[in-house]
């Protein structure tokens, strides 16, 4: 690059890196320049990787995180739903094992006349992707134009689950890929700005965050999860988006299905008024939170699940995106049942190993370009706290290739425990509340 081209740049990446490396706050103009210069290729991957590591080690002040987020938003388009003439509210989950909540949640909230623009992603590693699950449904498509999305939100459906356009926060897409290969994914300022830049750019009026903690979550420690939740709530609030967060438990898989097609089946059970208690509980908790932000704190979400209104809205949403809600979902060619080796109480089922096992069965992907096997996954016959007898099924592995079972079973070695019902630990296994805390701009409540 010529000296003349260099002279046109307002700042130097090395100065920005040094400021953060030495524990200082990066001035707003310099931080905005850093994001812009990286997006257009002037700042190199090596320089941005150094800056990300400095942030990982030194952290960021609240104003710095706000500026970083705003700069990433400014790198692309910003949507607006003002023309819809009704409130919009979205939900974001930090990801977990068996987390299919978006599927029943979006149509449930839409029952009450609130628009739900749920821009979702695909899975990578042990956490499943909402779009992968829905693509189990024959004909359903994730890619919608802005006009199609607006029409679906404005009409009787009122909810859309689709892929986010490439125009939203392109700086984040570039930085995320870099963080993934430089060991800086876990930095709270970078996680928060990544999530919130896309959600704020989306243009929703309100946002509810499902921030998970536990062995199957991105943030395993509850204190770190709380820090992330507070940071994101602050970012939303500072940007004029009404934002709250729920801290939810991901120490055991959510529900009894882990995969894609089987999680769709479980979601439909919830929409029919049934389904696992934890999935139903979290769906209703998030729906109440979303509707409260939309001005309907007294909405009877339980009635809408039980009387068929949410199911009707689900069917309409799937059909609007060319899917057939009545079509048979994929079924795996091979299954393997794991049974209890003794009588007792199931005291533990660690979420992470079950997520890894489902991934190895083909339900997830190691690289973004990999395909998923929609029929692959795990179905749990029991959950922690339940009594079993020797020989009783604990869970079933499903795959199209029986050669995948060995590595999946390796992942599950030591992932669950059965203890004699008379032992102290077995006697004290209790169903822990799925929602641990609620975090708002005003503070935290248990």
Closest CA to 95 of 225, 274, 289: 225
Residue 432's SS3 state is: coil
398 in Cβ contact with 380 (< 8 Å) = no
Among 20, 32, 92, 212, the one annotated catalytic: 92
Say how far apart CA 95 and CA 89 lie, in whole Å: 19
- Which residues, 6 or more positions from 194, have their beta carbon under 8 angstroms from its beta carbon? 72, 172, 175, 176, 179
Supply 216's token pair: 């199957």
Say how far apart CA 61 and CA 58 lie, in whole Å: 10
Is 20 labeled as catalytic in the residue annotation? no
Say how far apart CA 76 and CA 39 lie, in whole Å: 10
CA 274 centroid distance within chain: 23
Is 194 labeled as catalytic in the residue annotation? yes
Closest CA to 190 of 39, 44, 35: 35
Phi, psi dihedral angles at 417 (to 5 degrees): -140, 140
Say how far apart CA 285 and CA 51 lie, in whole Å: 38
Residue 122's SS3 state is: coil
Q: Which letter does DSSP use for residue 115 in this model?
A: B
Among 126, 173, 179, 374, the one annotated catalytic: 179
Residue whose pair of structure tokens reads 């769906």 in the numeric block:
283
Among 75, 136, 194, 267, the one annotated catalytic: 194
11 in Cβ contact with 34 (< 8 Å) = yes
What length is written for the chain? 446
- Which residues, 6 or more positions from 173, have their beta carbon under 8 angstroms from its beta carbon? 166
Is 78 labeled as catalytic in the residue annotation? no
Is 365 labeled as catalytic in the residue annotation? no
Say how far apart CA 249 and CA 436 lie, in whole Å: 7
Among 198, 226, 256, 404, the one annotated catalytic: 198
Closest CA to 201 of 83, 70, 32, 92: 70
Is 179 labeled as catalytic in the residue annotation? yes
Supply 211's token pair: 């921030």
Rounded to whole angstroms, what are the CA distances from 292 to 208, 287, 298, 303? Answer: 10, 8, 8, 16
Among 70, 90, 99, 172, the one annotated catalytic: 172
Percent of residues in the chain assigned helix, strand, coil, to nearest 5: 45, 15, 40
- State the number of CA atoms in the 13 A half-sphere of 137 facing the CB: 25
Mind telling me the catalytic residues?
92, 172, 179, 194, 198
């Amino acid at each position: 690059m010529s000296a003349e081209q260099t002279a046109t740049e307002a700042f130097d990446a090395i100065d920005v890196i040094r400021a953060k490396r030495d524990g200082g706050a990066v001035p707003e103009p310099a931080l905005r320049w850093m994001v812009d210069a990286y997006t257009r290729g002037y700042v190199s991957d090596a320089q941005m990787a150094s800056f990300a590591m400095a942030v990982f080690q030194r952290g960021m002040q609240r104003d710095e995180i706000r500026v970083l987020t705003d700069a990433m938003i400014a790198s692309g388009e910003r949507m607006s739903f003002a023309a819809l003439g009704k409130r919009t509210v979205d939900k974001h989950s930090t990801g977990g094992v068996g987390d299919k909540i978006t599927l029943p949640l979006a149509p449930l909230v839409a029952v009450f006349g609130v628009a739900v623009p749920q821009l979702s992603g695909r899975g990578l590693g042990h956490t499943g992707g909402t779009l992968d699950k829905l693509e189990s449904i024959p004909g359903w498509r994730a890619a919608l134009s802005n006009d199609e999305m607006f029409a679906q939100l404005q009409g009787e459906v009122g909810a859309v689950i689709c892929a986010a356009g490439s125009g939203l926060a392109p700086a984040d897409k570039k930085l995320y890929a870099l963080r993934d290969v430089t060991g800086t994914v876990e930095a709270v300022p970078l996680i928060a700005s990544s999530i919130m830049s896309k959600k704020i750019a989306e243009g929703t009026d309100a946002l509810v965050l499902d921030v998970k903690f536990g062995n199957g979550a991105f943030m395993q420690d509850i204190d770190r999860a709380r820090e992330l939740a507070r940071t994101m709530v602050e970012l939303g609030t500072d940007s004029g988006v009404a934002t709250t967060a729920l801290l939810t438990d991901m120490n055991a898989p959510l529900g009894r299905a882990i995969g894609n097609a089987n999680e769709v089946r479980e979601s439909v059970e919830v929409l029919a008024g049934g389904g696992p208690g934890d999935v139903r509980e979290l769906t209703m908790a998030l729906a109440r939170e979303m509707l409260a932000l939309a001005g309907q704190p007294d909405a009877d979400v339980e009635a809408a699940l039980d009387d068929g209104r949410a199911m009707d809205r689900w069917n309409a949403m799937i059909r609007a995106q060319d899917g057939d809600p009545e079509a048979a979902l994929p079924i795996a060619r091979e299954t393997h049942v794991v049974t209890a080796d003794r009588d007792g109480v199931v005291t533990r089922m660690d979420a992470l190993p079950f997520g890894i096992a489902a991934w190895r069965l083909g339900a997830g992907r190691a690289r973004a370009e990999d395909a998923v096997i929609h029929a692959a996954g795990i179905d749990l016959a029991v959950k922690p706290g339940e009594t079993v007898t020797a020989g009783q099924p604990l869970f079933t592995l499903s795959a199209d290739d029986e050669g995948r079972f060995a590595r999946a079973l390796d992942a599950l070695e030591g992932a669950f425990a059965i203890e004699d019902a008379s032992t102290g630990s077995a006697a004290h296994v209790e169903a822990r509340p799925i929602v641990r805390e609620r975090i708002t701009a005003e503070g935290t409540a248990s």
